[in-house]
Amino acid sequence: MDDNEGREAVRYGEAQVERGAGGETHQVAGDGRPSLTTQQGVVVGDDQNTLRVGERGPGALEDFHFREKIFHFDHERIPERVVHARGYGAHGFFENYEPLTDLTRADLFQRGGDRTPAFVRFSTVAGNKGSGDLARDVRGFAVKLYTQEGNWDLVGNNIPVFFIQDAIKFPDLIHAAKPEPDRGFPQAQTAHDNFWDFASLMPESTHMLMWIMSDRAIPRSFRFMEGFGVHTFRLVNEEGRSTFVKFHWKPKQGMQSVVWNEALKINGADPDFHRRDLWDAITQGDFPEWELGLQLFDDDFADRFAFDILDPTKIIPEEEVPIRRVGRLVLDRMVDNFFAETEQVAFCTQNIVPGIDFTNDPLLQGRNFSYLDTQLKRLGSPNFTFLPVNAPKCPYATFQQDGHMAMANPATRANYEPNSWGPEEGGPREDPVRGFQTFATTEEGPKRRLRPESFADHYSQARQFYVSQTEVEQRHLANAFVFELSKVERPDIRVRIVAALRNVDDDLAQTVADGLGLAELPEPLPAARPTVRDLAPSAALSILGNGPGSFAGRKIGVLITDGTDADLLGEVRQAAGKEQVNVELVAPTVGGITDNAGNRVEADQKIDGAPSVLYDAVVLLPSAEGAATLARQPAARDFVTDAFAHCKFIGHGPDAAALFESTGLGSLTDDGFIRLVDGASTEQFIARCAELRFWDREAALA
């Protein structure tokens, strides 16, 4: 029955009482809002004061409303995730492009055009729930697909490899990366002795170190980063034939990152930068999209590939196994309640569906064990699967019962299987035809604790990643090593890392050594296998080589003052609108300005609270008098100098000279500065912004 069916309303004085079909009533306020009640439905008469004995006397134990309210408050925080605590999520769908019946029996891939509901949670790894969005860190990219044959959780990252090869080392890795236990800091960063001590003693982490010291670890937006399933999985078709697969999410708006100095300042200006970006994009209808790509290969390729496909510290270059794009993921709805959905969503790598299966990747095998145990600890009950965000959207039936917060129990006589009761009382049965069937493999060998020899090459792909970067990206990577290791107190740890980098690239090692002030370059660390130095660069590994080709979905900050040229401001807005670029107006006061046509223009941000690090490009449109006023304001000068230092394109009107002169940039202007005088010049500016950064400036200043 509908909750409102059969109800009638009667009024008693200023209060309104609704009477249900069964005679029950509840009171609503005079303005139509429901009356506040306890969790038991008792209407609350006073929510402002506890029950006391006398005007200034002690509280009374019988105050059930206070006890219930404070009890719930005391318990409203569940344990945060040990890793990936800082997260943000959204709803959407996956749309399959064409039937993949030759590859898999998985239902979501059976029909072209089918849409499967999805929930995606992005996250950082090391920080707590209150840490900043722009920490240098791996980003979680976890996708829950509510298929017609159960939930499939593809629990991945924005980096396709990992630090370790065996799950038994995961507690050590996270302990080392988290705040040091004696002092409780640093938070959400790896720039400390424990992490780099661990990394320097684990050569297998070298490949991942290259990725995390690259700009991949400081993305501009969740929308502009790739996602990876990390491990090798299997696709299994109706005939039982298996195909190995690696899963990729390719952002349709291209990749983009920030620079390190910018990341630090963004964390100070807006620690929720990534959250706000996703919220703004989706609520404005600019729905983020990724394409699902599959790297498909067989046993023959696996046998001849230079590295072990079960090693999670390795990739398969796209040049060797091209990516087949088979569908798109669209995020089109924010959550209704952050806690109920984003915080309570439970991802488990073990959640797969018929047509998808595991491999013997030792890190994946350990994750399959760990995640379920983690969710039980965090959510407090094995019944977390009944929470709406975790529940399947297809029919489901089990004999599982009881436990804390059981929301459903068997409704028939039988709560066990097999049983001899009839269909109505006997409950569900297994289905050998439609049910999940594990792919049959033959396993043999001694039962031992070992690491296979095929996992022993720790440096070759790290080198391949490095040589695949542009000169700009290589410079950023080296600077990141220098920054992080400069925070390490023990010289011997710094030396060990540099010694390991010699197995990757001597020039990189020398640059880091010089940045650390090492007196001499240490000998390379002994390697289990020598580095293969002629692996071909892979274009897919460069962010700058895979940019968007468009400025759509980005944001420009336009600095305005009283007397701003109304026509020029209109041209900027029009040119940006044509390219689906967002514009925020930044002014001396949030109340706005009066332009030179006498129009009152509201501002989106006040200059003190909107530094240029929040924007992908900036435009300076002050009047001559306004520029002179801004020139005396540190925040305005920083707006310009930071945009310059971070290699952003800077559009400017004819009256910005005084502001430039106050920053000392008058003689340093370059081709990244575009003078705006009319519609043609503003369109030229927006077109240049598609390059995202004017990197020649960084090289000139290096």
State the SS3 of 205-261: HHHHHHHHCCHHHCECCHHHCCEECCCCEEEECCCCCEEEEEEEEEECCCCCECCHH
Beta bridge partners of 584: 557
pLDDT, residue 82, reads 92
Among 60-69, 83-92, 362-371, the range of highest mean pLDDT: 83-92
In this predicted structure, the answer to whether residue 7 has a pLDDT above a threshold of 60 is no
Q: Of 12-21, 37-46, 156-165, 323-332, which gets the smallest average pLDDT?
A: 12-21
pLDDT, residue 10, reads 36
The span from the first CA to the last CA of the chain, in angstroms, equals 71
How much is the average pLDDT of 294-307? Answer: 97
pLDDT-derived band at 21, boundaries 50, 70, 90? very low
Q: Of 105-114, 125-134, 407-416, 584-593, which gets the smallest average pLDDT?
A: 407-416
Three-class secondary structure assignment of 310-321: CCCCCCCCCCCC
Structure tokens at 412: 């028939």
Q: Which of 538, 539, 540, 577 is nearest to 556 (CA)?
A: 577
**Percent with pLDDT over 90 in the chain:** 77
Structure tokens at 570: 């209109």
pLDDT, residue 120, reads 98
DSSP helix/strand/coil, 262: helix
Instruction: Decide the pairing of beta strands 673-675 and 593-594.
Output: unpaired
Phi/psi for 144 (5° steps) reads -105, 120
pLDDT, residue 33, reads 80
Structure tokens at 285: 């209808």
Question: Dmax of the chain from CA atoms?
Answer: 90
In this predicted structure, the answer to whether residue 13 has a pLDDT above a threshold of 70 is no
CB of 177 closer than 8 Å to CB of 195: yes
CB of 164 closer than 8 Å to CB of 173: yes
Question: CB within 8 A of 321, min separation 6: which ones?
Answer: 246, 295, 296, 297, 301
Summarised one tens digit per residue, pLDDT across range 87-144 is: 999 999 999 999 999 999 999 999 999 999 999 999 999 999 999 999 999 999 999 9
> What are the residue ranges of helices labelled H in 440-594?
460-467, 471-486, 491-501, 506-516, 566-578
- Helix, strand and coil content of the chain, in percent to the nearest 5, comes to 30, 20, 50
Give 17 or 115, the one with higher predicted confidence: 115
Give the burial class of 669: count Cβ atoms within 10 A of its Cβ; 0-12 exposed, 13-18 middle, 19 or more buried.
middle
Summarised one tens digit per residue, pLDDT across range 647-693 is: 999 999 999 989 999 998 877 889 999 999 999 999 999 999 999 99
Phi/psi for 652 (5° steps) reads -150, 145
pLDDT, residue 30, reads 59
pLDDT, residue 610, reads 97
How much is the average pLDDT of 49-53? Answer: 88
pLDDT, residue 281, reads 98
Give the burial class of 469: count Cβ atoms within 10 A of its Cβ; 0-12 exposed, 13-18 middle, 19 or more buried.
buried
Structure tokens at 501: 């980098």
The pTM of the full predicted model, rounded to 2 decimals, is 0.91
Summarised one tens digit per residue, pLDDT across range 202-232 is: 999 999 999 999 999 999 999 999 999 999 9
How much is the average pLDDT of 238-262? Answer: 97
DSSP helix/strand/coil, 291: strand
pLDDT, residue 463, reads 98
Give 434 or 574, the one with higher predicted confidence: 574
Q: How far apart are CA 94 and CA 572, in angstroms?
A: 36
Q: Which of 86, 175, 180, 168 is nearest to 125 (CA)?
A: 86
pLDDT-derived band at 151, boundaries 50, 70, 90? very high
Specify the amino acid at residue 429. R
Q: How many C-beta atoms lie closer than 10 Å to residue 26's C-beta?
A: 16
Say which residue the tokens 């033959």 belong to: 442
pLDDT, residue 66, reads 87
Question: CB within 8 A of 449, min separation 6: which ones?
Answer: none
pLDDT-derived band at 408, boundaries 50, 70, 90? confident
Q: Of 113-122, 228-237, 387-396, which gets the smallest average pLDDT?
A: 387-396
Question: CB within 8 A of 45, min separation 6: which ones?
Answer: none
Q: How far apart are CA 4 and CA 34, in angstroms?
A: 13
Give the burial class of 446: count Cβ atoms within 10 A of its Cβ; 0-12 exposed, 13-18 middle, 19 or more buried.
exposed
Q: Please give the angle made by the CA atoms of 520, 525 and 531, to the nearest 5 degrees.
A: 115
Q: How far apart are CA 626 and CA 569, in angstroms?
A: 15
How much is the average pLDDT of 9-27? Answer: 43
- Annotated catalytic residues are 84, 157
pLDDT, residue 73, reads 82
Name all domains of the chain by residue range, CATH numbers in brackets. Answer: 1-46 (no CATH), 87-167+222-386 (2.40.180.10), 549-701 (3.40.50.880)
In this predicted structure, the answer to whether residue 359 has a pLDDT above a threshold of 80 is yes
CB of 329 closer than 8 Å to CB of 94: yes
Say which residue the tokens 């400081």 belong to: 218
Q: Which residues of 30-58 are buried (b: 16+ CB within 10 A; e: fewer)?
A: eeeeeeeeeeeeeeeeeeeeeeeeeeeee
pLDDT-derived band at 6, boundaries 50, 70, 90? very low
